[in-house]
Amino acid sequence: MKKNKLTPYLLIAPTFVLFTIFFLFPLFYSFSLTFVEWNGFAIDKTFVGVSNYLRLFKDEDFINALKNTITYALWTVPLSVSISLVLSYILDEKVKGFQALKGIFFLPHIVSLVAVGVVWSWIYLPDKYGLLNVILAFFGIEIHQWLHDPDLALISLVIIGVWKSIGYNMVIFIAGLVAIPKSLYEAAEIDGAQGLQRFVYITLPMLKPTIFFVMVSSTIYSLFQIFDIVKVTTNGGPIGRTEMLVTYLYKVGFTNYEMGYASAIAFVLFAITVLITIVQKKFIEEK
Amino acid sequence: MKKRVLALLLASIMILALGLSGCTSTASEPAAAEPAAETSEPVAEPAQEPVEVSFWHGYTPEKTEVLDELIARYEAENQNVTINARFVASGEEMLQKVQAALLSGEEPNMLWGYPTWTGVLESSGKLVNLGQVMDSEWKADLPEGILNAGAFKGDIYSVPIEAGTLYLIYNKDMFAEAGIENPPTTWNELYEDAKLLTKGEQYGVWLPIAPNERTTWTWETFLWQNKGEILNSDGTNIGFNNVAGLEALEFYTKVIQDGYAPTSVGQDPFIDEQVAMVYATQGAANAYINKFEMNVGVAMLPGKEKLATGLGSNHYFMFKSDEAVEKATLDFMKWMTSGDNHAEWAIRTGYLPVSDSARTSERYQSFGAENSHMIEAAKALTYGVARPPIEEYPKVSNVISATIEKIVYGEMTVEEGMEKIQKEADSIFK
């Protein structure tokens, strides 16, 4: 009987040990770094208390990065969620070549972010060198600098972000749509509901949990993981207009070699993400 | 059931061992690396004990090929030594790799990198003080200016292996088209020529503004030409918050703001014929001339109060390990940096040679006779100024380039920009 009690522990042991070594330990170690000043090379670390956290409030670059990240999320999340919802609804209505289209929309999601960044930075090349400008010029639209224009750089990144995430969101939406009982639509049709009415009064309410899930994951994604594309395309420029929290903390840590301060930024980012997740979870539970 | 539990147990142990093996080996290594041989006394070589030297570099594939050839030759001459040269990362990214390696005790014996890294690398306590172990004949063979580019707090922690300078590379066809006969020699001429060369989507000169070291380095040449200095005389803060610095900042940003230099560029604005002039090294000139077969001229950078250019050098660093390895590493460094070996390295890679013995060698002399742009670069080398290899330099550099970008985009005036640089410098040098 005794060995049966041991079996479950043994079963979870490998994961648990690896989790401790590669997740818990770095987490606590990195937290301890938020209280020191350290260049990442030196043998000695200087204890500075909470001054790394206090510095955040006075750091214009940090506030700028925070502002950019929130702006980016506010643009990308609603755009990508609404576009993918509409597209999935259309595809779900038995469009010809439905499977092939689904595959095509999903493709951007599985491509490496670095490759995506490189390709898009070519598309966005300034003046006559970029594909997008050449196409726009064909239609007589004025040539833009895109990633080099302080007013357009963030929007250019939003376009990449939306393009990249639509496919993934669609897969989840389509799964949600399939789960809605067809009898509801039939009943609505008998009552005389039109296409748009069916979408607003049946699809949307039934899909609410899915929408919330997609919104939560998209928000976290745009807060936490908007790194590779920025690093490859703009590296935070021009004049810091596309600097995100993650790229900024990377620069602080690995260009300025301030590991303590970088860790403090990381923990603030962590706190923001947890907060958003809790708020969004509350929403779902209320429904 | 018993068998299943046993199998499970074995599997867990295996995974555990796999996970831990990475940690245990790294944990024990720094201890092994502790006994440092910083003595200058020659130590008798252990009788042909095989020695392995790990060497990290960031060379392009073409240069790596040359390097591998030279290493093979060195290994043939020194049967017991194996040099494990490996491309790890190029440019500043190498320092990030080294940082991770130092923390886990996986650092190489020999590292190729920039002298500006000296400060941070030294703080690890694992860097060998090369000034103490290099022999006097070797030191005398290296020009003082280049050798001192790797000096930190009075000690020399690295040996130069390649040198390069910024000079003016210009498109002769565009110059002819604009009716300009000679390249500019002063700031005023630079401005006027850039104006003449600008039309439509073509610009006179490329002065970079992206927030990175290239921007800072290019701007620093203007600072030096105006008799300014990056640091104050005792090295405790920046030294260019004065007329010299303001004029340099103003001229640099004015050329761009007046529309004679582009704010955004494609892959390479010179190859794209987007600009007629660039501030670049002889490596770029080599590529334009030999690879892209462009009609290119080279000249010393235009000056103002004096002639000056950026002196760039790549250096070899050595990390502490056991005596035999350190000795072999040092020997290989000397072999690479002097005489015919070094002349061959310089000729085939397009860098400027660092040691006198290589520069005066017959081989390099006859090469120079056929490659006038290299002679021009060597001439520029005499006006070269090195960037201070202090720990704070990377941060100061970031602030300068970020500010230049902001001024160009009209976010702040030159004076406000200088104020911002000073404010940030105060906290960097606190």
**pLDDT tens digits for range B115-150:** 888 888 998 999 999 999 999 999 999 887 788 888
**Do B99 and A254 count as a contact with CB atoms less than 8 A apart?**
yes
DSSP state for residue A22 in the 8-state scheme: I
Give the closest-approach CA distance of B430 to chain A in angstroms.
Answer: 13
pLDDT of the residue at B221:
95
Return the beta strands (E) in B308-371 as ranges. 309-318
User: Residue ranges of chain B with pLDDT lower than 70?
Assistant: 1-47
pLDDT-above-70 percentage for chain A: 97
pLDDT of the residue at A286:
64
CB A266 within 8 Å of CB A249: yes
pLDDT of the residue at B3:
57
**pLDDT tens digits for range B152-187:** 888 999 999 998 889 899 999 999 999 999 999 999
**Do B402 and A128 count as a contact with CB atoms less than 8 A apart?**
no
pLDDT of the residue at B27:
36
First to last CA, chain B: 67
Task: Compare all CA atoms of chain B with the CA of A129 and give the residue at the minimum distance.
Answer: B266
CB B424 within 8 Å of CB B418: no
**pLDDT tens digits for range A190-213:** 888 887 888 888 888 888 888 888
In this structure, what are the phi and psi dihedrals at residue B181, rounded to the nearest 5 degrees? -85, -50
**pLDDT tens digits for range A112-164:** 888 999 999 889 887 777 888 888 888 888 777 888 888 889 999 999 999 98
How many H-runs (helices) and E-runs (strands) does chain B carry?
19, 12
Model pTM score: 0.77
Residues of B in contact with A13 (CB under 8 A): 12, 16
CB B276 within 8 Å of CB B175: yes
Task: Compare all CA atoms of chain A with the CA of B424 and give the residue at the minimum distance.
Answer: A59
Q: Which residues of B38-76 are buried (b: 16+ CB within 10 A; e: fewer)?
A: eeeeeeeeeeeeebebbbbbbbeeebbeebeebbeebee
Q: CA of B52: how far to CAs of B6, B49, B62, B102, B113, in Å?
A: 42, 10, 24, 19, 20
pLDDT of the residue at B287:
85
Residue B202: CB atoms within 10 Å: 18
**pLDDT tens digits for range A40-52:** 888 888 899 899 9
Tell whether B200 is within 8 A of chain A (Cβ): no
pLDDT of the residue at A83:
94
Q: What is the interface pTM, i.e. ipTM, of the complex?
A: 0.71
**Do B405 and A239 count as a contact with CB atoms less than 8 A apart?**
yes
pLDDT of the residue at B9:
55
Give the closest-approach CA distance of A170 to chain B in angstroms.
Answer: 35
Q: Which of A82-96, A242-256, B108-122, B294-308 has the weakest average pLDDT? A: A82-96
DSSP secondary structure string for all residues of A112-148: -HHHHHHHHHHHT-TGGGSHHHHHHHHTTPPP--GGG
State which amino acid sits at residue B412.
M
Q: Which residues of B7-21 are buried (b: 16+ CB within 10 A; e: fewer)?
A: ebeeebeeeeeeeee
In 3D space, the residue among A34, A26, A75, A81 whose CA is nearest the CA of residue A53 turns out to be A34
Give the closest-approach CA distance of A129 to chain B in angstroms.
Answer: 7
Q: CA of A61: how far to CAs of A66, A247, B306, in Å?
A: 9, 11, 37
In this structure, what are the phi and psi dihedrals at residue A225, rounded to the nearest 5 degrees? -110, 10
Q: Which of A232-246, A247-261, B25-39, B357-371 has the weakest average pLDDT? A: B25-39
As a whole number of Å, the CA-based R_g of chain B is 25
Residue with tokens 């604005």: B269
Residue with tokens 């090369």: B130
The closest CB to that of B15, out of A14, A129, A257, belongs to: A14
What span, in angstroms and rounded, lies between the C-alpha atoms of B207 and B192? 15
What span, in angstroms and rounded, lies between the C-alpha atoms of B222 and B258? 18
Residue with tokens 């172990």: B133
Return the beta strands (E) in chain A as ranges. 36-37, 46-47
Residues of B in contact with A25 (CB under 8 A): none
